[in-house]
Amino acid sequence: MLAPDVETRPWPQQLALDDASYRTQLGYLFDRSAFYRGKLAAAGFDSADAAGGLADIARLPLTEKREIRATCTPANPIGAHLCATPSEIVRIYSTSGTTGTPSFIPLTAGDLDNWVTASARSYAASGIAAGQRIVSTYNAGPFVAGAALAAFDRIGLCHVPVGTGNTERLMLAVELLRPDAVVLTPSYAAYVVEWAAERDVDLGGSSVERLLVAGEPGGGEPAFRAKLEDGWGARVTEAMGIGDIGVSLWGECEAQDGMHLGARGFVHAELIEPETGVALELDDGATGELVLTHLQQRAAPLLRFRTRDHVQVRTSPCGCGRTSPRVRCIGRTDDMLIVRGVNVFPSAVRQVVSAFAPDVSGQILVKPQAAGTKQEPPLPVSVELARGASADAALAEAIRDRLRNVLLVQTRVDLVPWGSLRRSEYKSKLVEH
Ligand SMILES: [Zn+2]
């Protein structure tokens, strides 16, 4: 553990400290954030005192990413939630927007340091320790993932950056430099398993003992995880963040039962029902959309920010001794479809389908027929066959039945030949929009 005093602090004590940070943060927002002054006043809160403490947070309005974007102007391209003066800002990251214009994420020196601290705790939870060697496949470029790379220095690792999208270079580094760990997206980890199998490369016999996956959901799906662990001969743990709030906020420990909040003290986590926005208790087993609030952010703090990540919470004691709640990401709310009243996550479809290995490759593509979330059954799903397997009506029917029994969704399963669904060297698309 990087910070045992912090990471094993009893959770009620953490919440008491967080309550004090939160009240200070609210005061700062009323003082400096034009966006939140206006938004909170419109909701009937004209001062930090009126807004109360963490126990009252669910009375405050949620923040959507598009609201922030709507306030961007040529004079203020960051948005009206910007609180810091230009001289206080030491870094500006971008997130890739769907509209083409990036969102800018400014950080003060203190913000950046907190990001790296949280990220280092999250990655260290995997069990990797000072003196070990890690190969990273993220580009340090414009995106917040760049800040995660600084966490490896903080842990004291020997960091070997090989960048994105060059599997030969990655495998050469693995073979020659014998790293203990590799950090990459789960999609890319799966791609490398296939890449190695095609070339008779003994991936399982490599020096790599830990795979740290992040950047998209999936690394926690049991069947998908088993495939990665089997192919790499390594233990898989996940990390997760959200660009607007912080990089690698959450990191899984060696118990492999969900990601601990590495950003405890810096970020407050809530759960809501995505359709209604109603706050849910953070109880063991609860599922919902994750909502995050900065507690100590200075440059552009966010309050009750909707992450669009749909998670399951675990609050049972963890064998590692960390006391923060844990989450497992089920999927992105944006990818969720509603088929005759039933919520369906493409990642859950993939999990069910993957159980049909070795007959299937594990690649799927959900093909909604209508625009928007609501779909009429049957929902078309392309399921890729394993290499050498041929289409078989009984297999398609068995998959369809299993999907109906497990996810309560009626599908039309189309078996497609091996290699026909696109692999990703970064993040997978499970839905054809
Ligand atoms: Zn743990």
pLDDT tens for residues 190-231? 999 999 999 999 999 999 999 999 988 888 988 889 999 999
> Any idea what DSSP says for residue 143?
B
Provide the pLDDT for residue 371: 87
Res 102 pLDDT > 60:
yes
User: What's the token pair of residue 265?
Assistant: 């003290």
Measure 315 CA to ligand 1 centroid, in angstroms: 10
Closest CA to 382 of 372, 368, 371, 398: 368
Measure 182 CA to ligand 1 centroid, in angstroms: 20
Report, as an integer, the average pLDDT of 125-138. Answer: 96
Measure 224 CA to ligand 1 centroid, in angstroms: 21
Please state the pTM of the whole predicted model: 0.90
Measure 172 CA to ligand 1 centroid, in angstroms: 33
Measure 324 CA to ligand 1 centroid, in angstroms: 9
Provide the pLDDT for residue 10: 97
What's the CA gap between 348 and 79, in Å, rounded? 35
Res 125 pLDDT > 90:
yes
What's the CA gap between 302 and 281, in Å, rounded? 21
Provide the pLDDT for residue 59: 97
pLDDT tens for residues 315-363? 999 999 999 999 999 888 888 899 988 889 898 899 899 889 889 998 9
What is the bridge-based pairing of β-strands 210-213 and 181-184? parallel
pLDDT tens for residues 272-298? 998 899 999 999 999 999 999 999 999
What's the CA gap between 96 and 103, in Å, rounded? 7
Measure 271 CA to ligand 1 centroid, in angstroms: 20
Closest CA to 378 of 369, 387, 391, 386: 369
∠ CA 181-184-187 to the nearest 5 degrees?
A: 130
Res 188 pLDDT > 80:
yes
Measure 34 CA to ligand 1 centroid, in angstroms: 39
Provide the pLDDT for residue 100: 66
Q: Which residue has the higher pLDDT, 56 or 163?
A: 56
Measure 433 CA to ligand 1 centroid, in angstroms: 37
Q: In this prediction, what percent of the chain has a pLDDT beyond 90? A: 79
Instruction: Name residue, tokens 């922030």.
Output: 68
